[in-house]
Amino acid sequence: MIKKGKLFVSSIVAASLITLFSSSVFAEGKFGTVTGDNLNIRKSPSTSGDVVTSFAKGIKVKILDSADGWYKVTCDNMTGWAKRDFISVTGSSSTGSSTKSSSTKSSTTSSSTTRKGSLNTDGVNVRAKANLKAEVVASLEKGSTVSIVSYSDGWYKVKTSDGTIGWIFADFINVKSTKVSRSVQVPSVKTTPSKSTKSTKIDTSTGGKDMISYSKKFLGVRYVYGGSSPKGFDCSGFTQYVFRKYGISINRVAADQAKQGKKVKRSELKSGDLVFFDTNGGHNYINHVGLYIGNGKFIHASSGSRYKVVISEMAGFYDDAYMTARRFIN
């Protein structure tokens, strides 16, 4: 009887160890593929957890753990929690260092599991880190194709055709898996406002507040290279469209818009001013524009991670990229 009892207890212990071991093997030996666009990776397994980065659709990740509908995943030294619904488990690896090597290789070199992107401007710098002050490791021309490895805070980590890996600001990349087409032509825009545009006037007693309220109606409109209508905007197309509504004619390209209006100091910005940036980090050419809305924020058509009209802080990346501002409203 005693022997049977010991045998029973031993069986329970063995079963527990097998279960624990199996769980550990699953946690450390499984890989998955991201099935959602720009999947948020969070610090904790909860939708209220801080977003630490985002992974592009098709990226291979290693699964480290699971909890309540979430996977703890890692890719290229970026680790966090992702909803299980957006991770397709693809298989297991062998053991030890070969597992780690396999994960790294599949997440950075496999063209079948990464999204492709093409550069939408000339002289784009590829940097060692996601920072304008980081070392430039390569420079690419307009139309060059890159493989997107991951996304973090407005930057894409990419692999170039010659194998160089680095970071490019997301505004310079058109992701080919989206509906955005680089074949879109810049539409001709009449310099003389239409009758409906002329009839709308800005209330000078409130400065640019009317214009700001109108511009916010387009939040979420998708980014389209060369677009200048509610069907899709690029940065200068958006500001031009909003200004035309109020009878103000401005040029089509950001660098040309920066030559118009009255130059104002950054410390004197008011709602309705246009703010200009060199998002390539060289501080030698204006390639982006937005509409200042007050409190250190501006609204703009961003070709970054979300490809739409958004409101951003004039801090961090845009603080470093800031060039000048122009006023068109007294």
**Would you name the residues annotated as active-site residues?**
235, 288, 300
Q: Look up residue 175 and give its two tokens.
A: 């992701």
Angle value at C-alpha 23, between 19 and 27, nearest 5 degrees: 170
Give the single-character DSSP code of 236.
Answer: H
Dihedral angle at the C-alpha atoms of 49, 52, 58, 59, nearest 10 degrees? Answer: -130
Please give the Cα distance from 290 to 285 (Å, whole number). 15
Give the single-character DSSP code of 316.
Answer: T
Region label for 148, one of left (φ > 0), alpha (ψ between -120 and 50) or beta (otherwise): beta
Residue carrying structure tokens 């062998």? 94
Quick one: which of 215, 224, 229, 244 has its CA closest to 303? 224
Angle value at C-alpha 231, between 294 and 118, nearest 5 degrees: 90
Region label for 5, one of left (φ > 0), alpha (ψ between -120 and 50) or beta (otherwise): alpha
Please give the Cα distance from 150 to 55 (Å, whole number). 5
Angle value at C-alpha 129, between 44 and 153, nearest 5 degrees: 45
C-beta of residue 293 within 8 angstroms of C-beta of residue 212: yes
**Could you tell me which residues are beta bridge partners of residue 39?**
55
Dihedral angle at the C-alpha atoms of 168, 291, 301, 81, nearest 10 degrees? Answer: 60
Quick one: which of 86, 84, 81, 83 has its CA closest to 59? 86
Q: What is the CA radius of gyration of the chain?
A: 25
Cα-to-chain-centroid distance, residue 95: 34
